[in-house]
Amino acid sequence: MTRTAPPNVGADQAFPTGVDLLHDPTLNKGTAFTEVERDALGLRGLLPPHVHTMEEQVARVMENFRRKPTPLEQYIDILGLQVRNETLFYRIMTEHLEEMMRIVYTPTVGEACQEYGHILTRPRGLFVSANDRGRVAEVLRNWPHEDVRVIVVTDGERILGLGDLGADGMGIPLGKLILYTTCAGIPPTQCLPVTLDVGTDNEMLLKDSLYIGLKQRRLRGPAYDDLVDEFVAAVQQVFPYALIQLEDFANTNAFRLLKKYRDAVCSFDDDIQGTGAVALAGLYAAARETGVPMTEQRVLFLGAGEAGVGIADLICAALCDQGLEQDAARGRCWFFDSHGLVVDARSDLAPHKLPYAHAHAQEADFRAAIESLRPTALIGVSGQPGTFDRPVIETMARINDRPVVFALSNPTSKSECTAAQAYEWSEGRAVFASGSPFDPVTVGERTFQPGQGNNAYIFPGVGMGVIASHARLVTDEMFFAAAQTLAAQVTDDDLELGRLYPPLSDIRAVSARIAAAVAEVAWRHALAGVERPDDVLGYIESRMYQPAYRNYA
């Protein structure tokens, strides 16, 4: 049933009543509908008699959530709330972010993607498959919301450190967009998760009767490029103000797609640029703790894919900003991949590694490379658990008074080392950050609260800044500004606790400031589509979605 929208909805349009209203997650208030609303909207008898406050509803949800025996069961439970009552879901996310982020994002989202076809209850997001070629715009028009401002899209080939999960990778765009709303206040109706289902080369999925995607090998070459091109063009046609975030594409596609689209449409790759910004912010904070200035850092990466090169590129931009020439800046960044140290004598290097292939003897042993290069910081982006073993950490601690150790691979099962290992093997001297959360660690008389170098500190604020300014493009300078802004919000108290990032409880304020800095870049370079307001931060904050019920009576 429908009727004219209530006055406080603000639109003279068809408005659902009765069970239709209760089944609309964007409007549903559940047991919080007032007596007057129940009479006006045909809800009398469809709800239990008692009218609950939102606070009481939150208490009920959290009580049941905490009863669930495993993180995966908690994921199923809380994502079920999202499709029933969106406002209540986001109130819980904002009030219990640290607890919830472990579930809707890393590390649990990785397990959820691995089990996605087996836990699916109600499909969410848009699946654009290889069978939709020639009609992708038509598929996009099936989305129920017209004012889409941010799209997170994956082809599922490199989900976290788990590899090819095909259409089951939809959990990643869903989780990312939950954080866009929770952390930066982008309205959920402006967010669209998309999976490009181009097949999978995962044998287990191809044999799984419950797999939700196309049971065929992945498209490659021109057929793949044609589908991606059609998707990008369709977005420009159907959602012309949307930002496109590329997510978890394999190295073979990620770098070239970013290069292809970055100067043509409003887009970025979070695995490359977002990871680069959050790691750079951590290095800025670490420099305050170690006393080693950025221009004197020597960084050794374990892993030379999207994340590592994205971080190195932004580090080089920061060093050039501080006066170094580009060649000198690149000389501060070294890579160690599956075949050993990346050096200029190797003939097997992919194009994205070549700028960091320096003159040096080949080295196949990682610890020997540390001994030779004497880095001030290790950054793990390999997806290989346990590779920062005790000899590696002890070597770093012998070379450096305060060794910087970033174990950034996700999920937790892929981390190069744990927080406890980094602190204990360095006798409490390591300056540590990780991609997934770790519990506090006590070494001697000091307790460390390790910081999580999570992209959630960066991409929501960048997205809000782009949307608020109507930026036409997303530039590297925007990510540089985001990194500087994030680092500036790390306090001395945070550093004393061993934390290189602000507490997650502050993330909405952090994201607002990042958004303001990003928007300022857009205005400074004539990339914005709206005039600059006098109070940029106030303008950003006024646009942020607040998860509160509307009065329909």
Q: 377 near 406, Cβ under 8 Å?
A: yes
Q: Please state, in angstroms and rounded to a whole number, the distance separating the CA atoms of residues 516 and 541.
A: 9
C-alpha dist (Å) from residue 214 to 208, 218, 432: 11, 9, 41
Among 75, 90, 105, 211, the one annotated catalytic: 105
Q: Please state, in angstroms and rounded to a whole number, the distance separating the CA atoms of residues 112 and 107.
A: 9
Helix locations, 403-458, DSSP H? 419-425
* SS3 readout for 102-120: HHHCCCHHHHHHHCHHHHC
Q: Please state, in angstroms and rounded to a whole number, the distance separating the CA atoms of residues 469 and 461.
A: 12
SS3 assignment, position 128? strand
Q: What angle do CA 181, 3, 36 make, to 5 degrees?
A: 80
Own/partner pairs for 86-90, CB < 8 Å, 24+ apart? Answer: 86/25, 86/26, 86/28, 86/188, 87/26, 87/28, 87/29, 87/547, 87/548, 87/549, 88/29, 88/30, 88/54, 88/57, 88/58, 88/61, 88/547, 89/25, 89/547, 90/181, 90/182, 90/188, 90/545, 90/547
Query: Quick one: 450 exposed, middle or buried, by C-beta within 10 A (0-12, 13-18, 19+)?
Result: buried
DSSP character for 127? E
Beta-sheet pairing, 377-380 with 299-302: parallel
Instruction: Annotate 458-491 with b (16+ C-beta within 10 A) or e (fewer).
Output: bbbbbbbbbbbbebebbbbbbbbbbbbbbbebbe
29's tokens: 């208030």
Find the length of the chain.
Answer: 553
506's tokens: 């502050």
Q: Please state, in angstroms and rounded to a whole number, the distance separating the CA atoms of residues 279 and 501.
A: 10
Q: Is 29 a catalytic residue?
A: no
Q: Is 176 a catalytic residue?
A: yes
DSSP character for 267? E
Among 176, 180, 261, 414, the one annotated catalytic: 176
C-alpha dist (Å) from residue 27 to 64, 88, 214, 456, 548: 23, 10, 34, 27, 11
Q: 260 near 339, Cβ under 8 Å?
A: no
SS3 assignment, position 431? strand
Nearest alpha carbon to residue 148 among 29, 61, 242 = 242
Q: Please state, in angstroms and rounded to a whole number, the distance separating the CA atoms of residues 312 and 334.
A: 9
SS3 assignment, position 214? coil
Q: 185 near 465, Cβ under 8 Å?
A: no
For the annotated catalytic residues, the residue numbers are: 105, 176
